[in-house]
Amino acid sequence: MSEAGGGRGCGSPIPQRAPWSLVAATAVLCLVSVTSVWTAGAAPMSKEEKQKLGNQVLEMFDHAYGNYMEHAYPADELMPLTCRGRVRGQEPSRGDVDDALGKFSLTLIDSLDTLVVLNKTKEFEDAVRKVLKDVNLDNDVVVSVFETNIRVLGGLLGGHSLAIMLKEKGEYMQWYNDELLQMAKQLGYKLLPAFNTTSGLPYPRINLKFGIQKPEARTGTETDTCTACAGTLILEFAALSRFTGATIFEEYARKALDFLWEKRQRSSNLVGVTINIHTGDWVRKDSGVGAGIDSYYEYLLKAYVLLGDDSFLERFNTHYDAIMRYISQPPLLLDVHIHKPMLNARTWMDALLAFFPGLQVLKGDIRPAIETHEMLYQVIKKHNFLPEAFTTDFRVHWAQHPLRPEFAESTYFLYKATGDPYYLEVGKTLIENLNKYARVPCGFAAMKDVRTGSHEDRMDSFFLAEMFKYLYLLFADKEDIIFDIEDYIFTTEAHLLPLWLSTTNQSVYKKNTTSEYTELDDSNFDWTCPNTQILFPNDPSYAQSIREPLKNVVDKSCPRGIIRVEESFRSGAKPPLRARDFMATNPEHLEILKKMGVSLIHLKDGRVQLVQHAIQAASSIDAEDGLRFMQEMIELSSQQQKEQQLPPRAVQIVSHPFFGRVVLTAGPAQFGLDLSKHKETRGFVASSKPYNGCSELTNPEAVVGKIALIQRGQCMFAEKARNIQNAGAIGGIVIDDNEGSSSDTAPLFQMAGDGKDTDDIKIPMLFLFSKEGSIILDAIREYEEVEVLLSDKAKDRDPEENEEQPSPENDSQNQSAEQITSSFQDFDLVDQESPEESSPNSSPESSESLSPAEMDSATSISPSKQNSDPTENHETASPNGECTDLDNQRQQQSETEEDSSPNVSWGKKAQPIDSILADWNEDIEAFEMMEKDEL
Ligand code: DMJ
């Protein structure tokens, strides 16, 4: 590593408010200055092993990129299960996720600078030629301004930055004449109409051909955008301005940032997740460092590094201070309300926040970075990947994992800052898990459910832009990279922008320097580059000593609420109102609820949700009662869910050439062999005749001893099961007849019985949507003999290591415990479609009874009457911050702090009911907004 041992930059103090150019250079250099001092902790990794791992990353990249180029290009992305390109409009819409796809060969552009980092210069040269020849930026397609900026504009600029670097070196790219930059400029101008708002905040979407608001544009009516969407433009836009001399881009991006800064919540210095682009009102007032806000913070700090403008650092430091005060609860990072920052807004964290430790390294705050990273690593060790969301007691909340790179990013930066070989081992685990669980014959497939190991037909472009870059750089020595990486800054999509831009075309910066920031009290801010010599004073075991106390934080955490309630049950205490007696229509009950700090929220779909805020209870005793009541309600609810719900299952193709690498998400049946209790069923598949399986099979010889494929429709599921069982099948897979249906876009079902006794059905039955089913049917067409494994969780793909995966019992325990602890966040999930809604074309099936099943980690949708029967399962919400010991501490801390607040009357019974109600309404409003939350 360059500058090891605290050479130039971090070793030398930087004068207060150093000239920006020096700060820009040193802020980056400081990341690399301590790698030589590490001697203890994890055993050092040999050069050979590092090299081996680096080569493995190269091979994996070739597998991902090669398959994209062979089977998907010029489409935007590869669909690795069906081995074809994802073309927008030709696949069922996935909602907002598709807004990244602009028919501009997204993956190719996003991969450009990765090719150079991975020393694939020849391939880079070819890829640039392809971009120039094939890519059209003028498509009639509505795209996300944010995604297009970070992936496409950033990709073109990163490609340009390295193209000119290579050209200057004199061997490659000699023909290059700024063509990528010209494309970037063209794209920049296409994005500019999005900024045509009074606030200067951009519209979230734009039509590449028609811009905004024209009737043909089909966009421009949106009123809201996410903070990250509006606040993650400055690096690309400023680079574009500085590369081209066209100042307008930097001006617009600065204006949007200025507006967001103005709108920060002044008492907490936090920003919300969603803002109205016309009025500047916060639409969602919850605040964290993950989804919706993440890269806004990242860009403030990096804009300071790249542009050397102090105002960005001042803003970043102000926000950072607030984040560390309210959101950081080491090792957790928990969302709070901007107007009540001591109040947690959620009891779960999302996977996007995994970038934050990396940003903390750049800031120089290593301790919390190590802590959060360690916590995340333990979650990964438990589930192989970081689930999209997980609760404060580390259970899966949203089970997908689209191969996000944020954790690899933080691992890389922590390794650079600490030199601790532990982080190399972490990287090795990431590589192993990707190969073991996500690699499929045609690329790498996102995880549909980290618990079952099932896949989604999706390989996002950021996987190539970021994951391989960070993993490769983690194991690379300086001489493995053909340029000096320290001369560049990483954008949020890991595109590389040269630091020399800070001294080029600074006209915008000069024009926009304001004096506003002098009013801030910045006496506590660090104006110097964090000096890692001081961070790790002769103590090579520094990082290890921080991780040590956290080493079992994930395994040992236990829901605090449950412990407390169990204790109180032991002591015989009961809430004044028992959950089983509660009637939502009884005014007396509602009064008691209010006293206990429990609010009742009537959801749009007619269900009722309960949320408790201990600080809103009339007294601490009422708060305790409320807690017991909530716990009882949660238990009642989860008991019912347990009775009604079965987790998703997996169909794994184990024959050549899949060898267990393709795992399909399957719906379970409420009858037949329970795969969670019995060993998996393995067998070759055969189609039944008749294909609908509704009468005695005419081809029993074909299905005997095999797993029969049957089409959905015409008769009851149980009838199909009996017919194939009678023909000698050892299992059955029902394939949806609703063409194009997929578990990517529709909620899973569990197949219900026929209302009669189904004990005679002994074989396992699983349900696949049409898209997943056709993967098996295609495989039969191509390979004839196709063997599958029906199980509750994908089995180890490597025959050498046939160890049992974490036991199904544990997993189902996890499932129910998840339901207990994740209830607060149910708002985000209440809009799930009912089975009928999701399959409007399935009328022939009407006699079959499908029950909605909660297949993801989310909680179930219960019958929706607001009546008195608690067994009809009113959704409940756990009290804020009740889930871990760490949380417990935080809760106490929050209570103490609230104590001193004039508005809150913890234990003093002083808060007037009006103000409690007003608070409730505010919270309800905020929660209702959270309903719209999407990652
Ligand atoms: C990437 O596109 C960027 O890192 C972005 O900032 C948010 N996350 C995705 C990958 O997870």
Write out pLDDT tens, residues 181-237. 999 999 999 999 999 999 999 999 999 999 998 889 999 899 999 999 999 999 999
**Residues across the chain:** 935
Q: Is the pLDDT of residue 645 over 80?
A: no
Residue in 309, 360, 240 with CA at minimum distance from that of residue 23: 309
| Predicted pLDDT at 523 | 59
Q: Is the pLDDT of residue 580 over 50?
A: yes
Ligand 1 atom closest to 402 (CA): 11
549 pLDDT band (50/70/90 cuts)?
confident
Name the least confident of 335-344, 419-428, 875-884: 875-884
Q: Is the pLDDT of residue 759 over 70?
A: yes
Q: Is the dihedral of CA 628, 817, 634, 907 positive or negative?
A: positive
Pocket test for ligand 1, best of 76, 99, 145, 150 (most atoms within 8 A of CB): 150
Continuous segment of H or E residues that includes residue 613: none
E strand map for 96-247: 142-144, 205-207, 224-226
Taking the centre of ligand 1 as the mean of its atom positions, its distance from the CA of residue 551, in whole angstroms, is 28
Percent of the chain with pLDDT over 70: 73
| Predicted pLDDT at 552 | 81
Residue in 242, 149, 262, 261 with CA at minimum distance from that of residue 195: 149
Ligand 1 atom closest to 298 (CA): 6
| Predicted pLDDT at 925 | 53
End-to-end CA distance of the chain: give it in Å, rounded. Answer: 36
Phi, psi of 735 (to 5 degrees): -105, 130
Mean residue pLDDT of the chain comes to 79
Residue 15's contacts (CB-CB under 8 Å, 6 or more residues apart) are none
Separation of alpha carbons 96 and 717, rounded Å = 34
CB burial of residue 89 (10 Å; 0-12, 13-18, 19+):
exposed
| Predicted pLDDT at 369 | 97
pLDDT tens readout for residues 64-119:
999 999 999 999 999 999 999 999 999 999 999 999 999 999 999 999 999 999 99
Using left for φ > 0, alpha for ψ between -120 and 50, and beta otherwise, residue 6 falls in left
CA nearest ligand 1 atom 6, residue? 492
Separation of alpha carbons 115 and 104, rounded Å = 18
| Predicted pLDDT at 437 | 97
| Predicted pLDDT at 820 | 25
Pocket of ligand 1, beta carbon within 6 A: 150, 295, 352, 404-406, 462, 492-493
Over residues 429-452, mean pLDDT: 97
Name the least confident of 691-695, 800-804, 841-845: 841-845
Name the least confident of 116-120, 476-480, 576-580, 683-687: 576-580
C-alpha radius of gyration, the chain, whole number: 28
| Predicted pLDDT at 887 | 37
Continuous segment of H or E residues that includes residue 452: none
Percent of the chain with pLDDT over 90: 59
Q: Is the pLDDT of residue 866 over 50?
A: no
Q: Is the pLDDT of residue 828 over 90?
A: no
Pocket test for ligand 1, best of 400, 466, 468, 490 (most atoms within 8 A of CB): 466
Whole-Å CA distances, 860 to 219, 340, 748, 754, 816: 34, 29, 12, 22, 11
Pocket test for ligand 1, best of 493, 495, 934, 935 (most atoms within 8 A of CB): 493
Residue 62's contacts (CB-CB under 8 Å, 6 or more residues apart) are none
Q: Token digits for 41?
A: 């902790």
Cα atoms in the Cβ-side hemisphere of radius 13 Å centred on 532:
36
Strand pairing class (707-711; 731-735) = parallel
- Burial 665-687, CB ≥16 within 10 A → b, else e: bbbbbbbbbebbeeebbbbbbbb
CA nearest ligand 1 atom 8, residue? 352
Separation of alpha carbons 399 and 860, rounded Å = 14
In 3-state terms the chain splits into helix, strand, coil percentages (rounded to 5) of 45, 10, 40
Q: Token digits for 759?
A: 């004990």
798 pLDDT band (50/70/90 cuts)?
low
Separation of alpha carbons 108 and 464, rounded Å = 9
| Predicted pLDDT at 32 | 31
Can you name the residues that pair with 207 across neighbouring β-strands? 142, 211
Q: Is the pLDDT of residue 822 over 70?
A: no
Q: Token digits for 633?
A: 């309600």
Q: Is the pLDDT of residue 597 over 70?
A: yes
570 pLDDT band (50/70/90 cuts)?
very low
Dihedral of CA atoms 544, 546, 552, 557 in degrees, nearest 10, equals: -170
Q: Is the dihedral of CA 826, 830, 836, 841 positive or negative?
A: negative
For residue 34, how many other CB atoms are within 10 A of its CB?
27
Whole-Å CA distances, 704 to 669, 674, 724, 791, 822: 21, 21, 9, 20, 44
Indicate which residues carry an active-site annotation.
Answer: 147, 294, 388, 406
| pTM exceeds cut of 0.75 | no
Separation of alpha carbons 818 and 839, rounded Å = 28
769 pLDDT band (50/70/90 cuts)?
very high
Residue scoring higher pLDDT (755 or 759): 759
Residue whose token pair is 């689209």: 402
For residue 706, how many other CB atoms are within 10 A of its CB?
22
Q: Is the pLDDT of residue 806 over 50?
A: no
Taking the centre of ligand 1 as the mean of its atom positions, its distance from the CA of residue 173, in whole angstroms, is 29
Whole-Å CA distances, 913 to 233, 586, 905, 920: 45, 19, 11, 10
Q: Is the dihedral of CA 686, 690, 693, 698 positive or negative?
A: negative
| Predicted pLDDT at 603 | 59
Ligand 1 atom closest to 406 (CA): 11
| Predicted pLDDT at 475 | 98
DSSP state of 331: T
Pocket test for ligand 1, best of 229, 352, 385, 386 (most atoms within 8 A of CB): 352
Q: Is the pLDDT of residue 460 over 60?
A: yes
Separation of alpha carbons 100 and 90, rounded Å = 15
Q: Is the pLDDT of residue 916 over 70?
A: no
DSSP state of 239: H
- Burial 251-266, CB ≥16 within 10 A → b, else e: bbbbbbbbbbbebbbe
Residue 522's contacts (CB-CB under 8 Å, 6 or more residues apart) are 314, 317
Separation of alpha carbons 707 and 664, rounded Å = 15
Residue in 419, 351, 808, 343 with CA at minimum distance from that of residue 599: 343
Taking the centre of ligand 1 as the mean of its atom positions, its distance from the CA of residue 850, in whole angstroms, is 37
Ligand 1 atom closest to 294 (CA): 6
275: Cα separation from own chain's centroid: 21
CB burial of residue 525 (10 Å; 0-12, 13-18, 19+):
middle
| Predicted pLDDT at 602 | 64
Taking the centre of ligand 1 as the mean of its atom positions, its distance from the CA of residue 566, in whole angstroms, is 42
Residue type, 165: M
pLDDT tens readout for residues 465-480:
999 999 999 999 999 9
273 pLDDT band (50/70/90 cuts)?
very high
Whole-Å CA distances, 299 to 277, 296, 491, 529: 19, 5, 8, 17
Cβ contact 166:116 at 8 Å: yes
Over residues 255-275, mean pLDDT: 98
| Predicted pLDDT at 450 | 97
Separation of alpha carbons 550 and 547, rounded Å = 5
Q: Is the pLDDT of residue 341 over 60?
A: yes
Residue in 199, 219, 197 with CA at minimum distance from that of residue 208: 219
Residue 391: strand, helix, or coil:
strand
Q: Is the pLDDT of residue 648 over 90?
A: no
Residue whose token pair is 């999209």: 388
Over residues 283-304, mean pLDDT: 98
Cis amide linkage into residue 15, ω under 30° from 0: no
Q: Is the pLDDT of residue 22 over 70?
A: no
Taking the centre of ligand 1 as the mean of its atom positions, its distance from the CA of residue 178, in whole angstroms, is 27
Residue whose token pair is 């103000």: 915
Whole-Å CA distances, 25 to 1, 10, 274, 553: 16, 10, 34, 37
Ligand 1 atom closest to 355 (CA): 4
| Predicted pLDDT at 401 | 98
Q: Is the pLDDT of residue 547 over 60?
A: yes
Taking the centre of ligand 1 as the mean of its atom positions, its distance from the CA of residue 651, in whole angstroms, is 30
Cα atoms in the Cβ-side hemisphere of radius 13 Å centred on 418:
34
Residue 119's contacts (CB-CB under 8 Å, 6 or more residues apart) are 480, 481, 482
Taking the centre of ligand 1 as the mean of its atom positions, its distance from the CA of residue 49, in whole angstroms, is 29
Q: Is the pLDDT of residue 611 over 50?
A: yes
E strand map for 358-399: 389-391, 396-398
| Predicted pLDDT at 160 | 98
Can you name the residues that pair with 610 across neighbouring β-strands? 600
Separation of alpha carbons 389 and 39, rounded Å = 36
Cβ contact 459:443 at 8 Å: yes
Q: Token digits for 98?
A: 């598709």
Q: Is the pLDDT of residue 653 over 50?
A: yes
Separation of alpha carbons 102 and 187, rounded Å = 12
Taking the centre of ligand 1 as the mean of its atom positions, its distance from the CA of residue 91, in whole angstroms, is 23
